[in-house]
């Protein structure tokens, strides 16, 4: 990325939450996400609810843990259909 490229902090935080949930295995509570990412609990909660409303995060109602949602399957499927996709793009 070129130096001086503007970064949107809320987008960066959302992507960090997605990456954390994707590698969490059993999912995570809002409190655990907040602690792990050093985010205010209210910020983590708002971002997770926004991602959930779009299908990118889902919640296990029994445990209250959040995980990656089904919308990522659609995104991944779209990426796999790109005609210029190379092996190095999927590693």
Tens-digit pLDDT profile for residues 52-78: 999 999 999 999 999 999 887 777 666
Runs of H (alpha helix) within 23-70: 30-37, 41-53
Give the Cα separation of 3 and 51 in Å (integer): 29
Give the Cα separation of 31 and 39 in Å (integer): 10
pLDDT band at 88 (very low <50, low <70, confident <90, very high): low
Residue-averaged pLDDT of the chain: 86
Q: Looking at the DSSP assignment, which residues form a beta bridge with residue 52? A: none
pLDDT band at 44 (very low <50, low <70, confident <90, very high): very high
pLDDT band at 80 (very low <50, low <70, confident <90, very high): low
The residue length of the chain stands at 91
Residue 12: pLDDT above 90? yes
- Give helix 30-37 / helix 41-53 axis angle, nearest 10°: 120
């Amino acid at each position: 990325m070129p130096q001086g490229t503007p970064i949107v902090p809320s987008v960066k935080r959302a992507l960090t939450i997605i990456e954390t949930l994707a590698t969490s295995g059993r999912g995570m509570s809002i409190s655990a996400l907040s602690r792990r990412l050093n985010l205010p609990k209210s910020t983590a909660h708002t971002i997770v609810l926004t991602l959930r409303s779009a299908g990118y995060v889902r919640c296990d109602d029994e445990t209250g843990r959040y995980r990656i949602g089904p919308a990522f399957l659609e995104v991944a499927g779209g990426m796999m259909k790109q005609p210029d996709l190379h092996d190095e793009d999927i590693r």
